[in-house]
Amino acid sequence: MYFFLLGVFLLGGTYLLSQAKFRVITYISYFTIWLGLGFLSLSFFYLIFFVLKINKELKNNILLSLYAVFIVLILFEIGLRVSGKFHTYNEKSWGGKYLFLNKSVNTDSWFFLHTPNTTIDAGTQEFKYYRSINALGLPEKEIPAKEEGEIRILALGDSFTEGVGVPFDSTWVKKLPLCLNKNYKDKKITTINAGVGGSDLAYTYLLYKEKLLNLESDIVIFFINTSDVHDFALRGGLERFQPDGTVRIESPWWEWLFSSSHIVRFYFRYLKSYSGNLKPYQVEKSRRQLFSYWGLEIVEKIRSVALEKQARIIFVSHPLKTNYKYPIVRNPLVRFMDSLEQKQIPTLQIKDSFDKKGDSTVAQISKYFWPIDQHFNQKGNDFVSQAICDEIIRLGWVRNE
């Protein structure tokens, strides 16, 4: 009875510890989960011993076997952790704690933003990352009123737009006006970085529509990648936004066990074929295939809003390093971009720009990404800036302003 109560207490403590804000506290859950399971197992076997009236010798042999199995599981857990096979991006790159699916966004708000008027001072083993966050919650300086004759470019997207991996003035967003000004010396061209790490196409649409229209942007760039497909499979489309101003993100009840044990991760990811979104692979696959239809719904809404403000829009997709490990034809994002082209909506696929340069393999494109973190490094940001600059020049958008 005591073992059972202690086991329940420790597993309950594991649940609470896994939800803790501070990383050091969550580490304790890695131990309490195994202690809790150990005591629950003991209570179960002692109950069997009592009911079946098992003799002392057999009982000792069973307990020794149980201890041996427990030790093997502990060693397996340690081995999985050391291998890093099941570490999430947040754990691997930023050395942080596990980020629960329903805590990866602010469910109390429709808007995916940083905390206004704060600073980000973080880093990985590869780079330091510092940003000042303005009053809007963007990784940008305070935005003044638009000047007469100014051509204002707004960039929306996730961490690849925000520029994780390089300093503020070295992001492709801030490099872009330098490139354009070489061709249009008589124009004042400015850019606004509205990229927020973890955002997606649905969030950027609402951000643009509800908070950034008054910036009077002339050109709006939506910078997307396959993480938008991943986010749609997890978060859903516009239905995630509730009438009361909150966001609904579903996550399985067992995620707290998943966060605390890598054996649990091994079970669900390998043996049960669950995706990184903690959904059965077939469910995940079917949701990803819907991305192009869902995305087109968002694009039409963006198009309508931009038309009212006489702003030009362009959707720029870029590959992730991992995309080169799998056939690109399987990528729902490519089908989405092809659909936009068919509707004569301006697009640019950075992969095509890589291909034209002769960079079409993992080895060749690796020079544009940080090896571990896998965001663009400075070379990657410079390349993207030049590719978008060339496309804007080709479209004649600056010349015609």
- pLDDT value of residue 329: 47
Compute the distance between CA of residue 226 and CA of residue 238 in angstroms, rounded to an integer. Answer: 18
- pLDDT value of residue 91: 78
**Res 22 pLDDT > 70:** no
How is 122-189 classified by DSSP, letter by letter? EE-SS-EEEEE--TTSSSS---PPPPTTEEEEEEEESHHHHTTTS-GGGSHHHHHHHHHHHH-TTSEE
User: Which of 7-21, 89-103, 190-204 has the highest average model confidence (pLDDT)?
Assistant: 190-204
- pLDDT value of residue 49: 81
DSSP 20: -
**Res 55 pLDDT > 90:** no
Three-class SS of residue 321? helix
- pLDDT value of residue 157: 97
Average pLDDT estimate for 43-65:
85
- pLDDT value of residue 14: 79
- pTM of the entire structure? 0.84
**Res 107 pLDDT > 90:** no
Written out in words, the top-level CATH class of the domain with range 103-252+276-395 is alpha beta
Residue 191 parent element (H or E): strand 188-195
Average pLDDT estimate for 276-303:
87
Phi then psi for residue 255, to 5 deg, are: -65, -30
Instruction: For the chain, give the mean pLDDT.
Output: 89
**Res 285 pLDDT > 90:** no
**Res 1 pLDDT > 60:** yes
Three-class SS of residue 93? helix
pLDDT category of residue 115 using cuts at 50, 70 and 90: very high
Average pLDDT estimate for 162-189:
95
Strand partners, 258: none
From 113, 144, 118, 114, select the one nearest 132 (Cα to Cα).
118
Domain parsing of the chain, residue ranges: 2-83, 103-252+276-395
Beta-strand pair 347-349/312-317 = parallel
Question: What is the Cα Rg of the chain in Å?
Answer: 25
**Res 400 pLDDT > 70:** no
Residue 393: both structure tokens together = 């020049």
**Res 252 pLDDT > 80:** yes
Phi then psi for residue 221, to 5 deg, are: -105, 125
pLDDT in tens, 374-395: 999 999 999 999 999 999 999 9
Per-residue b/e over 240-264, b at no fewer than 16 CB within 10 Å? bbeeeeebebebeeebbbbbbbbbb
Average pLDDT estimate for 288-295:
87
**Res 260 pLDDT > 90:** no
Compute the distance between CA of residue 392 and CA of residue 314 in angstroms, rounded to an integer. Answer: 9
Say if residues 33 and 14 touch (Cβ distance below 8 Å). Answer: yes
- pLDDT value of residue 27: 66
pLDDT in tens, 139-173: 999 999 999 999 999 999 999 999 999 999 999 99
Say if residues 87 and 261 touch (Cβ distance below 8 Å). Answer: no
Average pLDDT estimate for 234-253:
90
Looking up tokens 């720009």 gives 353
From 85, 124, 178, 44, select the one nearest 370 (Cα to Cα).
124
Beta-strand pair 347-349/219-224 = unpaired
Beta-strand pair 128-132/119-123 = antiparallel
- Other C-beta atoms closer than 10 Å to the C-beta of 92 total 16
Strand partners, 191: 153
- pLDDT value of residue 33: 83
From 206, 202, 211, 155, select the one nearest 392 (Cα to Cα).
155
